[in-house]
Structure 1
Amino acid sequence: MNELEAAKARATAAYNAAADYFDHPVSSFWHRFGRRTVERLELRRGETVLDVCCGSGGSALPAGEAVGPEGKVIAVDLAERLVALGEAKARERRLSNIEFKTGDMLALGYPDASFDLVVCVFGIFFVPDMVAATRELWRMVRPGGRLAITTWGPELFEPANGAFWEAVRAERPDLLKTFNPWERISTPEGLRDMLNQAGVGNPQIVAEDGEHPLSSPADWWLIAMGSGYRGTLAQLDPPTLDRVRERNLAGLGQSEAIAVNVVYSVARK
């Protein structure tokens, strides 16, 4: 298995496992930032949208509302359990213009210039070669269309993130991650450089600092269970999982919020 296939397998396993908590109310930031990404794009009725790494519909659902029945949204994710959640929400909202499908954003097979808008929220960094992945997304944007990539800013989920990895280090140091893939593009300068390398010129980039409230430290554990951290947690036996949880929450103390800094980019072709 090569590096790309290994990365895809890790992301698929982690987010399929996380699906049972992914849409828990404590993790409302997925949909908050998905909607903000769409709002920044000023979508018009009748436009066609490709949303990759769509999760359970954080950006696909508001995009479907914005383009109306005359438009079309194709929402793609590797994790079939997240896709199923998105499909259920689209049916509930009677958004028949959204097609959710399980798939790989690098192998969708659409011709050049197929979409008015291509969106990727919190997903481009899962691909080892982000430049090549971005180039593939840009290829599918029509002349005059837009590419929107939203990624995490610095200090994501701190102080809970640091406490999490310290708890993992104490129990399973072999699982410790010393580098998060989004860190390369967690600043406007880093994201701009990656986009330029992919041939995406003159992107509009905005960094937004923010916090996500916690009603108690236990909220953080629910967030971890419904996110990429689940890939690490799934490798722990039950007694070890309990000890990691206790250490993590003790390390978090009485923190009432975690950092959720975001960087938005939009480029017109």
Structure 2
Amino acid sequence: MNAHEEAKAKAARAYNAAAELFDHPANSFWNRFGTATVERLNLNPGENVLDVCSGTGASALPAAQRVGPGGRVVAADLAERLLAVAQAKAQAQGLDNIEFRVGDLLQLGYADASFDAAVCVFGIFFVPDMAAAVRELWRQLRPGGRLAITTWGPNLFEPANGHFWDAVRAERPDLYKDFNPWDRISTPDGLRAMLAEGGVAQADIVAESASHPLSNPDDWWTLAMGSGYRGTLDLLDPAQLGRVKQANLSRLSSAGVDRIEANVVYAVATKP
């Protein structure tokens, strides 16, 4: 299995497992930043939008509302359980202008110039060759179309993130990560360089300092179980999992942590 196929399998496994908690109130940041990304695109009624790494629709649903019944949104993700939640939400909101596709963003196969906008929120870094992913999204945009890439900024979910990995290392040193896939693009300069490598020479890039509230330490554990951390947690045996959870919650509680960093970097580029 090559690096891309291995990354796909890991992401699908982790996010399918996390689906039951993905939309928990403790994880409201998905909708917050998905909506903010769509607002930066200034979508018009009737436009066609490709939304990849869609999750449960945090950007696809507001995009569908913006483009209206005369427009169309294709929402694609590797995790079919996340898309099932998104589809149920779309039905509840009366949105019938979204097509949901389980698929790899590098292999969706739409023709050149098929879309007015392409969106990827917190997902481009799951592709080992991020520049290739950008090239593929860019190819599918018509001239004048807009590409929106949103990624995490520095210090994601600190201080809870550091406590999490310390606890994991104590139980399973082999699972410890000192590098995240988004680290390379967590600054405007890093994101700009990656976009340029993917053929996008000009982009409006904005770094935003933000935080995410925790009403209690248990919110952190819900976030971890309902996000990409789930891929690591599912590799622990029940006793290890219990100790990692206890270590996390006790450290957050003793430090009185009631919010964590959730810095983001937004990029919007218009195709010549």
TM tier relative to shorter chain: over 0.9
Q: What SS class does the counterpart of residue 205 from structure 1 fall into?
A: strand
Counterpart in the other structure of 1:209: 209
Counterpart in the other structure of 1:267: 269
Counterpart in the other structure of 1:177: 177
Counterpart in the other structure of 2:260: 258
1:137 and 1:232 map into 2 onto residues whose CA distance is 29
1:122 and 1:141 map into 2 onto residues whose CA distance is 20
**1:99-118 correspondence runs (5 A):** 99-118=99-118
Q: What SS class does the counterpart of residue 36 from structure 1 fall into?
A: helix
Counterpart in the other structure of 1:161: 161
Instruction: Out of 67-76 and 246-255, give the one that drifted further.
Output: 246-255
Q: Which runs of 5+ in 2 are unaligned?
A: none
The residue type paired with residue 19 of structure 1 is A
**1:13-92 correspondence runs (5 A):** 13-92=13-92
Quote the offset at 1:240 in angstroms.
Answer: 1.0
Q: How many residues align?
A: 269
1:109 and 1:142 map into 2 onto residues whose CA distance is 15
Counterpart in the other structure of 2:190: 190
Q: What SS class does the counterpart of residue 30 from structure 1 fall into?
A: helix
1:120 aligns with 2:120: yes
The residue type paired with residue 20 of structure 2 is D
Quote the offset at 1:252 in angstroms.
Answer: 2.2
CA RMSD between the two structures: 0.6
Quote the offset at 1:170 in angstroms.
Answer: 0.6
Instruction: Out of 247-256 and 187-196, give the one that drifted further.
Output: 247-256
Quote the offset at 1:227 in angstroms.
Answer: 0.2
1:250 and 1:205 map into 2 onto residues whose CA distance is 38
TM-score under structure 1 length normalisation: 0.99
1:7 aligns with 2:13: no
Residues 77-109 of structure 1: CA deviation (Å, up to 9, x unaligned):
000000000000000000000111111100001
TM-score under structure 2 length normalisation: 0.98
Residues 43-80 of structure 1: CA deviation (Å, up to 9, x unaligned):
10000000000000000000000000000000000000
Q: Which runs of 5+ in 1 are unaligned?
A: none
- % identical equivalent positions: 67
